[in-house]
Structure 1
Amino acid sequence: MHLLAIGVNHKTAPVAIREQVSFGPETLPDALLDLTQQRGVREGAILSTCNRTECYCAVADTVADQEAVITWLASFHGLTPEELRPHLYAYHDREAVTHLFRVSGSLDSLVVGEPQILGQLKEAYRSAYNVGSLGPLLNRAFHHAFKVGKRVRSETDIGGQAVSVSYAAVELARRIFGDLSRSRVLLIGAGETIQLAGRHLREAGVATQLVANRTQENAEELATELEGRALTLDAVPEALGEVDVVISSTGAPTQVVERAWLERAQKRRKRQAMFLVDLAVPRDLPEDAEEVSGVYLYTVDDLQAVVEENLQTRRQEAERAEGIVEANVEEFLQWLRNQEIVPTIKAMRAKAEAIREQELERTRKRLGHVPEEMETALDKLSQALVSKLLHEPTMQLRHCSENGNGEDLIEATHQLFRLDEDS
C-alpha cells in the first residue's frame, strides 16, 4: 500500500482555480465516498480550505492510481484534467508523509505558524472517519500528523506572534486607514477566520463591529464577544452604507454581496474609501467590486506582501519545526515498513510450521507407535530446527526494513518460499 497526496494550494493555483476545486461541507461526504470508488483507491481523505484542496489516498499503485485521482478531482468539479494539471502537485510515500506533516505544522501555510490549519486537518479527518473512507494507513498518518502539529506549536515559537491571514487583513486595513479607532467594520460570517479577524480588530481599537451571518445565533455570540452588533444576511445591503471596512469569509457556494449593493452604499457614503477583504473560497464579494468608485478589494492572494514581512521573523523557528517534521517522518515510515515486513515474516513462519507438522506426521506413520517421551523429543527437535533455520532470514528482513531497503528482500522472500501460492 502506498500513500498519495494530490492537490492545489496558494503557491500553485490562483484563487480562481482554488474556488473551482473546493469542497463545501454539503458535498464533502459524497465526494469522499466517490473518491474511494476510484481505481486503486483503498482509503481517502480530503482537506479543503481557502488556501488548499488536497486529496490524501492509500493506493495500490502510485503512478496509475495518481492519474485516476487527478481525473476524478477534475471531473467532480466540471473540469478536464488538462485544465487542472498545471496547478497540481503530487507526492508519493515519503514525500506525501512529509507534506502532510508540514501542513499540520503550518509550515506549508500562507502564513507560516498560523494555528488554524491543525483544526482544519482534524475536521478533514472527522469527515472521512464519519463516512468510513479511512483505513489503517490514513488513520495512522493523520494521528501522527496531529502529534507533529502539537509538537511544533509547543516546542518552537513559530506561532509566537498573533499572525494569520485574518491578522494580515487587519494589518493591511491599518496601513490604509492608519488609526482604526474611528473605523466601522462589517464582518460577514462567524467562523474561525472571521472570529480571529474580529479579535484583532478589537485589539486595534476599532470603534464599531457589525457581524452578519446566516445563523443569527452564531452572529449574536460573536457580536457579544466583540461588543458589537449582530445582523442577518438580509441586513447586509443596508449595513454596507454604514461601514468603512468589510471582511468576509463564509462557506457559501456563491457570492453573498452584490455589486449593486456596493454602488448604492457608496452613493450614500459620498464615495469615501471602502476597504473590502474577501477571505472566502469560493469568493463572497464581487470580482469587479473595484469598478465601484472608492472601493478597494483584496483577496487572500493579495495578502501575500503583508505575509512576507511576517515570514522573516519566523524562519529560524521554522527550521526547528522542520527538524521535528523530519524525525516524525522517519518514525512513521518505520511503522509503515513494519506493517509490510510483519505479514511476510508471519507467512514464512506459517508455511514452515505447516511443513514441519506435515513431515512430523509422516515420520510418526513410518515409525509406528513410539513412546510419549520420543514423541515429545521429535516435536521439540522439529520446532528447534525450524526456529534456527528461520532465525537468520527473519533478522535480515527486520534489518533491511529498519534501513529502508526491505522492499526487494520482501519480494525475494515471497518468491523463494512461494508464499503467494499459499495466500
Structure 2
Amino acid sequence: MLLNLGINHKTAPVDIREKVAFGPDIVVAALRGLREQAGAEEAVILSTCNRTEIYASVNDSSVDALSEWISDFHGIDKSQLTPYLYAHTDKDCVTHLMRVASGLDSLVLGEPQILGQVKDAYQVSVSTKSSGKMLDRLFQHSFSVAKQVRTDTAIGSSPVSVAFAAVNLAKQIFADLSEQTALLIGAGETIELAARHLHQQGIKHIIIANRTIEKAAALASEFEGYAIGLQDLPAHLAEADIVIASTASPLPILGKGMVESALKARKHQPIFMVDIAVPRDIETEVGKLDDVYLYTVDDLETVIEENKQSRLLAAEEAAEIIEQQTHNFLEWLKSLDAVSLIQSFRTQAESARDEVLERAIRQVENGKNPQEALQFLAHTLTNRLLHTPCAKMREAGSNGQSELLDAADKLFAIGVDKK
C-alpha cells in the first residue's frame, strides 16, 4: 500500500509545523527509523517551511502507527499533532504527490521551487537506500507529470507575489540581469523573497540597505551581497540598476533630489524602481524623472490579480493532466500483480520441464531408444503442463462457471467455436 501522511500550511499553524520539521541533520536518521521502527518498506520525507510529509510503501503499517512514530521522533504529544494531520492512500497518495510536485498544493499556486524540494527529498531517500521499486517509479512519474504541467499549461508563467512580480518586471526592462546591480531597501520577508528571486535569475550584485545593519548583513550574506545603513544610500544609489523598497518608515526614504544626483552620476543610465511600501518609501515625484521606471504596489497588485485568475484556469487544466497520469500510474501498479503471477507460472513450468527432461536423459543413458525417450518427454511434459488447467476447466464446466471458461478461452487464445 502507498501511504502519505503529513501537515501543511493549510492544516497547521507555523508553530506546529516547526515542531515536526525534518532538517538536513536529522532526516537520514528519520528515514532509518521509518523503516526499522514504523514498518515502512520504502520512505521519502519531504520537509519545507510550508509542509512536512512522509511518503511510504507499507504492508501492515497504519496511519496511527506512522503518526505515533512522528510524535515519538519529535518528542511531542500525539494529541497535539493528530488534529492537523492528513493522510492519503494508494490512488489519493499518487494524486497528492503529483499535485505537490506541480505546485498545485502550494501557498502560492504554481510556484516552481517546490519541484526542486521534492527532487531533493527523493535524492536523500535514494542515497540512503530508503526508496525502492515502488517509490522510485512514483517519484520519477511525478517529476515527469510536473514537467508536463509546466509545459502544457500557464500555471507558472504569471507572477502572483509582489516580490516575484517586481523581479519579473525587472527582467522585462533588463533582458539579462547578470550584468545588473540591485539595491534592496529593507530586510523583511518581501525583500528576502525579492533577493531570492534576483539571485536565482543570476543578478550580478545585491546591496541590502536597512536601518539595522546587522539584519541587513545577515540577509546579504545569504546572497553573496553586502549591507549598508540607510544613511549610506546617497553614496550607493548610483550603483543600482534596480531598486526595490519595502520598509515600515512613515516618511519617504528616497527623495527626488537624491535620485537626480544618482542619475547624474550614472550619466542617465535608467533605473528601475519598485516601491512596495505603504506608506511609500519613494517620493511620487521620482516617477516623473526621465530615465526612472517607477512602479508602486498598486501597479503590481493589478498585475498579480490578473495573473491569479490566469493560474486558476491553468490549475484546472493541470488537474485533468494529473487525473490521467494518476490512472496511468495505477495501471502500472496493477501490472505488478501480473508480473508476479507470470514469474510464478514460469517457475512452475520450468520446474516441470527440468524434472521430465532429467527422466528422459536417464532413459537414454540406460539404453532406451532416443526417439522413444523424446516421445516420452513430449507426452509427459504436455500432460504435466495441461493437467491443472484442464482439471480447473472441467470443474468450472461442472459448476456452470461460464465466465471462467470464457476467461480461459481468451487467456490461452483457444478460439472455441460456440455454435
TM-score, normalised via structure 1 length? 0.61
Is this contact kept in 2: 1:41–1:60, CA < 8 A? Answer: yes
Q: Is 1:111–1:311's contact at 8 Å kept on the other side of the alignment?
A: no
Partners of 1:45 and 1:56 within 8 A in 2? yes
Q: Structure 1 residues 30 and 371 mapped into 2: Cα distance closer, same or farther (>3 Å)? A: same
The answer on 1:70 being equivalent to 2:64 is: no
2:369 pairs, out of 368, 371, 382, with 371
- How many angstroms does 1:355 deviate by? 3.8
Find the residue that maps to 1:44 and give its secondary structure. strand
Of 115, 124, 128, the residue aligned with 1:127 is: 124
- Counterpart residue type for residue 309 of structure 2: Q
Contact 1:188–1:194 at 8 Å: present in 2 too?
Answer: no
Shift of residue 142 of structure 1? 0.9
Q: CA deviation at 1:3?
A: 1.1
1:108 aligned partner: 105
The 5-angstrom pairing of residues 395-414 of structure 1 reads none
Larger radius of gyration: 2
* 1:212–1:219 CA contact under 8 A, matched in 2: no
Write the distance in 1 (CA, Å) between the matches of 2:359 and 2:196: 77
Q: Which moved more, 1:187-196 or 1:343-352?
A: 187-196
TM-align CA RMSD: 4.4
Given that 2:163 and 2:190 are in contact with CA atoms closer than 8 Å, whether structure 1 keeps it comes out as no
CA-to-aligned-CA distance 1:52-76 (integer Å, 9 cap, x gap)? 1100111112xx4322211111222
Q: What is aligned with 1:25? A: 24
Q: 1:130 to 1:307 in 2, by over 3 A?
A: farther
Q: Tell me the equivalent position of 2:328.
A: 331
Distance 1:192 1:137 in 2: 36
Instruction: Letter of the 2:246 partner, please give it.
Output: V
Could you give the per-residue CA deviations for residues 180-229 of structure 1, whole angstroms, max 9, x where no partner exists?
A: x99822268999885127789x9xxx996579566976432xx3xxxxxx
Does structure 1 residue 84 correspond to structure 2 residue 81? Answer: yes
Residue of structure 2 in register with 1:251 after alignment = none
1:9 aligned partner: 8
How far apart, in 2, do the equivalents of 1:88 and 1:186 lie? 33
The match for 1:158 is 155
SS in 1 for 2:187: strand
Deviations 1:328-352 (A, max 9, x none): 2122222222223212221133124
Correspondence for 1:219 among 208, 223, 229: 223
Tell me by how many angstroms 1:32 deviates.
1.8
Matches within 5 A, 1:10-409: 10-61=9-60, 64-163=61-160, 167=164, 184-186=185-187, 194-196=195-197, 212=216, 218-220=222-224, 223=225, 230-231=226-227, 245=246, 311-358=308-355, 369-384=367-382
In structure 1, distance between residues paired with 2:29 and 2:92: 28
Find the residue that maps to 2:117 and give its secondary structure.
helix
Q: Distance in 1 between matches of 2:219 and 2:43?
A: 31
Q: For 1:12-55, what per-residue CA distance to the aligned partner results, in whole angstroms no more than 9, with x for missing partners?
A: 11222112211222222222222222232111111111211100
Unaligned stretches of 5+ residues in structure 1: 172-180, 224-229, 247-265, 275-293, 295-305, 394-408, 410-423
8 Å CA contact 1:111–1:164 kept in 2: the answer is yes
* Residue deviations 1:65-120 (CA, integer Å, cap 9, x gap): 32221111122222122111111111111111111111111111122211111111
Report the CA distance shift for 1:311/1:38 in structure 2 as closer, same or farther (over 3 A): farther
Secondary structure of 1:22's counterpart equals coil
Question: Whose RCO is larger (CA < 8 A, sep 6+)?
Answer: 1
Counterpart CA distance in 2 for 1:19 and 1:392 is 63
* Contact 2:209 2:230 (8 Å CA) reproduced: no
CA contact (8 A) 2:46 2:52 kept: yes
Gaps of 5+ in 2: 169-181, 234-243, 254-278, 280-302, 392-406, 408-419
* AA partner of residue 139 (structure 1): D
In the superposition, relative to structure 1, how do residues 198 and 366 fare at CA in structure 2: closer, same or farther (>3 Å)?
A: closer
**Count of aligned positions:** 313
Contact kept in structure 1, 2:67 and 2:78, CA below 8 Å: yes
Task: Determine the C-alpha separation between the residues in 1 that align with 2:95 and 2:165.
Answer: 27
- Cα distance, 1:390–1:135 mapped onto 2, change above 3 Å: farther
For 1:307 and 1:190, how far apart are their aligned partners in 2? 17
Letter in 2 for 1:245: S
